């Protein structure tokens, strides 16, 4: 197979190379998958630099999110959930390759009518946003929800989930194109957070200027968000894309009765297993009802493993929106 193997940490995605590798050998509980699309993530950039919390022993194949076709089922399973030929998506170490191995718990069937490209970016972002808004914040009809970095992968998922539950969505982003994208995915109002007065602008968009009920924050804008949140509001701490872990004055939390709520979806499989199928059931219901669509970045196409460095570079420079996906033609296939 072909793949992007990391034998030593690199400084930047441009140093990654595609090489011929031996096909992965599935363990008794693993499927062998033919990869047709791989989605990029910020943590992929951190991992190739040795800065992520999960660093496999060298050498390892980069990439995590994938969509493809089952080539072989687990040798240790008499009744595999996905027979050979099934279209699946999921997450596993080593998706930047023409083949990968994955455990059943890390895979789901590609939704009806979805392409491999669309499905490849679903496994990490959709449950993070659904889990945050539905499980953690209890979003409901009539709520006002502020989604920061709304044109990002988790942001566009959050916009759609909040709208599906009957909330009014105020979306922030930093460019005209990203604000346009957030609007196209259902945001009711868009605000440029390069304007220093954005908290006041957001507040004015709520009934009688009371503020928003829920803030979805994957950036690290909790402190400023306390200025435009309503009494009893919930601020969801999703991540720190701005690069720093901020400190918040607790008197602000006390005076407005605010709840600061964390969401670490990656730990649910370990700490709260029962919630995982419920979240996916909810997401698949929204997809079936046409209330949740794929968030694949379409302004530029990335085709072939050779384009992974460019895709990661584009993602890291914040010039993209949604999920940046690399289409992976199978060996012998034309890239067109």
The answer, yes or no, to whether residue 335 has pLDDT greater than 60, is: no
Q: Transcribe 88-146 into DSSP letters.
A: EEEE-TT-SBSEEEEEGGGEEEPPTT--HHHHHTSTTHHHHHHIIIIIIS---TT-EEE
Segment 21-40, tens digit of pLDDT: 999 999 999 999 999 999 99
Single residue among 249, 267, 285 that ends a domain in this structure = 267
Q: Is 102 among the domain residues?
A: yes
Q: Is 110 among the domain residues?
A: yes
Q: Is 95 among the domain residues?
A: yes
Count CB neighbours of 193 within 10 A.
20
Segment 98-129, tens digit of pLDDT: 999 999 999 999 999 999 999 999 999 999 99
**Residues 146, 210 within the same domain:** yes
Range of the domain at 205: 125-267
Count CB neighbours of 92 within 10 A.
22
**Residues 129, 253 within the same domain:** yes
Distance CA 96, CA 105 (A): 20
CATH number of the domain within which 263 lies: 3.40.50.720
CB 89 within 8 A of CB 66: yes
Q: What is the mean pLDDT of residues 231-253?
A: 91
CATH number of the domain within which 55 lies: 3.90.180.10
**Residues 62, 111 within the same domain:** yes
Q: Is 273 among the domain residues?
A: no
The answer to whether the bond into 59 is cis (omega within 30° of 0) is yes
CA neighbor of 177 nearest in space, from 41, 300, 313: 300
The answer, yes or no, to whether residue 153 has pLDDT greater than 60, is: yes
**Residues 129, 262 within the same domain:** yes
Strand pairing report for 189-192 and 212-217: unpaired
Domains in the chain, number: 2
**Residues 252, 313 within the same domain:** no
Distance CA 316, CA 295 (A): 17
Segment 281-321, tens digit of pLDDT: 999 999 999 999 999 999 999 999 999 999 999 998 888 99
CB 241 within 8 A of CB 220: yes
Which segment of 147-151, 222-226, 331-335 scores lowest on mean pLDDT? 331-335
Helix (H) or strand (E) holding 178: helix 176-184
Q: Please state, in angstroms and as integers, the Cα–Cα distance from residue 68 to each residue in 37, 156, 200, following that order.
A: 7, 23, 46
Distance CA 144, CA 177 (A): 23
Q: Is 279 among the domain residues?
A: no
Q: What is the mean pLDDT of residues 29-56?
A: 93
Q: Give pTM, 2 decimals.
A: 0.93
Q: Is 130 among the domain residues?
A: yes
Distance CA 26, CA 293 (A): 32
CA neighbor of 2 nearest in space, from 25, 31, 23, 30: 23
**Residues 254, 139 within the same domain:** yes
Q: Is 281 among the domain residues?
A: no
Strand pairing report for 99-103 and 60-61: unpaired
Q: Is 33 among the domain residues?
A: yes
The answer, yes or no, to whether residue 182 has pLDDT greater than 60, is: yes
Distance CA 74, CA 101 (A): 10
Written as six digits, the tokens of 172 are 């922030």
């Amino acid at each position: 197979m072909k793949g992007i193997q990391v034998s030593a940490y690199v400084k930047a995605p441009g140093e990654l190379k595609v090489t011929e590798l031996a096909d992965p050998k599935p363990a008794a509980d693993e499927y062998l998958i033919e990869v047709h699309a791989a989605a990029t993530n910020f943590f992929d950039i951190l991992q190739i630099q040795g800065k992520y919390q999960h660093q496999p022993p060298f050498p390892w194949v980069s990439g995590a999110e994938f969509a493809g076709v089952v080539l072989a089922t687990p040798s240790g399973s008499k009744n595999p959930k996905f027979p050979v030929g099934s279209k699946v998506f999921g997450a596993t170490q080593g998706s930047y390759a023409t083949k990968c191995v994955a455990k059943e718990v890390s895979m789901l069937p590609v939704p009806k009518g979805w392409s491999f490209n669309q499905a490849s970016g679903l496994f990490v972002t959709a449950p993070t946003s659904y889990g945050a808004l539905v499980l953690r914040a209890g979003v409901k009809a009539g709520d006002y929800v502020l989604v920061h970095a709304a044109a990002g992968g988790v942001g566009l998922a959050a916009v759609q989930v909040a709208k599906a539950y009957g909330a009014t969505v105020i979306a922030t982003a930093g460019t005209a194109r990203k604000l346009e994208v957030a609007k196209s995915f259902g945001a009711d109002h868009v605000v440029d957070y390069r304007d220093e007065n954005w908290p006041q602008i957001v507040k004015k968009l709520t009934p009688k200027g009371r503020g928003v009920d829920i803030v979805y924050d994957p950036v690290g804008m909790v402190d400023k968000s306390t200025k435009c949140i309503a009494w009893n509001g919930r601020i969801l701490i999703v991540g720190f894309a701005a690069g720093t872990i901020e400190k918040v004055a607790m008197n602000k939390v006390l005076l407005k009765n605010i709840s600061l709520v964390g969401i670490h979806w990656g730990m649910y499989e370990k700490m709260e297993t029962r919630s995982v199928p419920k979240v996916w059931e909810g997401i698949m219901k929204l997809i079936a009802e046409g209330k949740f669509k794929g968030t694949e970045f379409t302004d530029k196409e990335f085709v072939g493993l050779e384009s992974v460095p460019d895709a990661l570079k584009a993602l890291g420079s914040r010039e993209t929106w949604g999920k940046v996906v690399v289409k992976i033609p199978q060996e012998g296939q034309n890239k067109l």
